Amino acid sequence: AQTVTQSQPEMSVQEAETVTLSCTYDTSESDYYLFWYKQPPSRQMILVIRQEAYKQQNATENRFSVNFQKAAKSFSLKISDSQLGDAAMYFCAYRSASSGGSNYKLTFGKGTLLTVNP
Amino acid sequence: NAGVMQNPRHLVRRRGQEARLRCSPMKGHSHVYWYRQLPEEGLKFMVYLQKENIIDESGMPKERFSAEFPKEGPSILRIQQVVRGDSAAYFCASSRLYTGELFFGEGSRLTVL
């Protein structure tokens, strides 16, 4: 079974600075997707960024980028120019891409609570 | 263009009562998923449904929990004879394809007294 580990329960960053959230995962599969979700106090799960494992290029979405290290099974999220609105719980998630099986299930880490200080 | 709608947002029940949580998927989405989030935990998969069919309920407790997605109307997650350990946030997500992007609702927070 796949597992996702977020080793930082809490992180803080000064407004306008950069912060990196860590995520590692364990899988025997070669084809899969990785995601970062944001959960603000409103509790809605918002997709921040997605990475396909077959792509070597790291995904970027405006101020959000990832460092995907497939061999190391590491998938960190970098937030540049942090804003107050970035304060939230961030979850790393894994989904298999292999045909058949449970490739519709997301496996989540326990989350990292990000505080942004003004 | 409404997103995934869940209600109620908050539900309080006493031990032994029943809880019913509703989820209306996004327009055009026929795949519905329920996840549970316990305090200080990530979301955990419970059940995957298509219209009138349960595809995978491997994450749902065998007793007291049931889910349906009828031909008409919202998907329902039903918890009978609730216990304190059922207190959690229950999230519904929907997708157009079973491998498509999941869109989450805002969750229903169940508190069992």
Residue of B nearest to A49 (CA): B101
Distance from CA of B47 to the nearest CA of A (A): 9
| pLDDT at residue B1 tops 60 | no
Look up tokens 């994450």; give the residue.
B59
B73 pLDDT band, cuts 50/70/90, is very high
The beta-carbon neighbor of A45 closest among B99, B104, B109 is: B104
pLDDT of residue A101: 67
pLDDT of residue A2: 85
pLDDT of residue B107: 94
Q: Do A105 and B98 touch (CB under 8 A)?
A: no
pLDDT of residue A41: 87
How far apart are alpha carbons B2 and A37 in whole angstroms? 20
Catalogue the E-assigned strands of A1-118: 3-5, 10-14, 19-21, 24-26, 32-39, 46-52, 60-61, 64-69, 74-79, 88-96, 107-108, 112-117
Residues of A whose CB is below 8 A from B32: none
pLDDT in tens, A13-51: 999 999 999 999 999 998 999 999 999 988 889 999 999
pLDDT of residue A104: 86
Residues of A whose CB is below 8 A from B43: 45, 91, 106, 108
| Angle formed at CA B4 by CA A116 and CA B10, multiple of 5 degrees | 70
Q: Do A91 and B44 touch (CB under 8 A)?
A: no
Q: Do B41 and A43 touch (CB under 8 A)?
A: no
Of the ranges A27-31, A43-47, A75-79, B95-99, which one carries the lowest mean pLDDT score? B95-99
Choice between B96 and B98, residue whose per-residue pLDDT is larger: B96
Three-state SS for A67-91 is: EEECCCCEEEEEECCCCHHHCEEEE
Letter for the amino acid at B53? N
Q: Strands A64-69 and A60-61: what pairing?
A: antiparallel
Choice between A44 and A64, residue whose per-residue pLDDT is larger: A64
Residue A88 backbone phi and psi in degrees, to 5 = 180, 175
Judge contact between B42 and A110, C-beta under 8 A: yes
HSE, side-chain direction, 13 A CA sphere, residue B85: 3
- The average pLDDT across B39-61 equals 92
Catalogue the E-assigned strands of B41-87: 43-50, 53-56, 65-68, 75-79
